[in-house]
Amino acid sequence: MRAAPTILHLDMDAFYASVEQASKPSLRGKAVIVGGLGPRGVVATASYEARRFGVHSAMPTAQARRLCPNGAYLIPRFTLYRQVSDVVMAMLRELSPLVEPLSLDEAFVDLEAGGVAFDSDSARATGERLRADIRAATGLSGSVGLAGSKMLAKVASEEAKPAGLLLIEPGTERALLAPMSVRTLPGVGPATGEHLRRAGITTVGELVEAGEDELVRMIGRAHGAGLYRMALGLDDRAVVAERDAKSVSVEDTFDVDLHDRVRIRGEVQRLADRCVTRLRDSGHSGRTIVLKVRRYDFSTLTRSETLRGPTDDPAVVREAAARLLEAVDTTGGVRLLGVGVTGLADYTQEDLFAQSLAAGPEAADAASGAGGAGGAGGAGGEDRTGAAAGRTGLEAADGASAAPEAPEPPGEPQEAPERRWAAGSDVRHVLYGPGWVQGSGVGRVTVRFEQPGSEPGRVRTFRVDDPDLEPSDPLPLVGDTTG
């Protein structure tokens, strides 16, 4: 614990939904729900207007629609969220070299390490200046908590929401915490909270009254002793500048269970490509490829394969994921698929044999001869055998996803697939300029033409295959939006 409130916690307010409201003028002041839009979708973030109806994150989207039927339901636009997050995190790093990001919209900052605050007055001034700078640069609001520890700074930012600042003066911690729910403390989830409730403990003050010995008896020594210290407001954890990513992954939940094995293979290949894109964006490579499959009965299987060295080659990740899929029984249907990479590193070790498989059998044979001595014995030889065995399956999957199983007669034209327009996605029309998709169906797509900083725009409807309408990149929230 510090004698001055020089640890800052920033939490952007309803971040995804606020970005959407700033980006789409017609949604300002309206209920906005961001997340999966299908029958099995889950809410990622709800605006404060939507929260008044009881909508909250992690809620099934179908339930949210029942509670708030007139809300705007949008897909997440992570590219834009990351761009805004980068702007905010850069501001935090101007304050201090010790910035600990927790997510795209949340971070701790050690103000004392940056020399910008040493007491309550300077800490408060820094926090208010930060909030104003964020508003000017992004148009968004953030809530700031200031305290002598990380735990209390996070509690303070939560109490300050939305768009506020709360500073906890040293010496007032216990009085502030006492009436709060035990769920306020880190490590107290639903199960622990319910266990304590059955023992008659619902507030932090009641935790303190129970005493350390009783908490140790109830929930174990490690957890009980730590929880008692937290209840007293004691937290000596330092702000850590670098939090190393442990894995990168992507997954999709499907509206209808997938039964077609060829379709499943194609989805795995698509997920592998998305995973590699995210891997490269983070500046990492990885050694272990992980496949996640949730089946029709909600049973979840994971399979993994560890390479001889880290890679960020999409062909290598696709082939590994395809091999892993071959070992999974998808009979009965698949409701979720995911591909991840773990064992992250900041460099890539070239794997001549693995990469040459993507180039064709001749290249693979040449690589095998060139690298035979290095791969002899142990797991290296097994990796090569698995890679070679998996190549045929991968080529079959690629071929199946590119064309129907029964080839079309030569010269017969094939109908182009109908374009899909997800609600909330960015578009640009040749005549009307930038806009976003309000909805689509029965061969039509409805677009509202507006952009950050403009007045609410007009709505127009087009055929889904209108050649003048194209997907577009997000426009910046503040600054030049004419490009």
> Could you write out the DSSP letters of every residue in 64-77?
HHHH-TTSEEE---
> Under 8 Å CB-to-CB from 65, ≥6 apart: which residues?
71, 73
Residue 107 — φ and ψ, nearest 5°? -165, 155
Distance CA 207, CA 201 (A): 6
Residue for token pair 């968004």: 140
Instruction: Point out the catalytic residue in the list 106, 112, 267, 305.
Output: 106
Cis peptide before 310 (omega within 30 of 0): no
Dist CA 353 CA 309 (whole Å): 12
Nearest to 303 by CA among 317, 316, 290: 290
Rounded CA-CA distance 381/447 in Å is: 55
Euclidean distance between CA atoms 207 and 227, whole angstroms:
8
103 and 154 Cβ atoms separated by less than 8 Å: no
SS3 track for 181-246: EHHHCCCCCHHHHHHHHHCCCCEHHHHHHHCHHHHHHHHCHHHHHHHHHHHCCCCCCCCCCCCCCC
**Cross-strand partners of 361:** none
Return d(Cα 252, Cα 439) in angstroms, integer: 21
Rounded (10°) CA dihedral 257, 261, 263, 265: 120
H-state helical runs in 286-412: 314-326, 352-357, 361-370, 372-375, 378-402
Tokens of 380: 């290296």
The span from the CA of 302 to the CA of 370, in Å, is 34
- 40 CB-side CA count, 13 A: 12
Looking at beta carbons, which pairs linking 112-119 to residues 24 or more positions away fall under 8 Å?
A: 112/2, 112/4, 112/6, 113/239, 117/4, 117/6, 118/4, 118/6, 119/4
Question: Token digits for 264?
Answer: 């499943």
Structure tokens at 320: 């590994």
Residue 476 to residue 483: CA distance in whole angstroms:
10
Contact status, residue 290 vs residue 341, Cβ threshold 8 Å: yes
Residue 106 catalytic? yes
Q: Which residues are catalytic?
A: 106
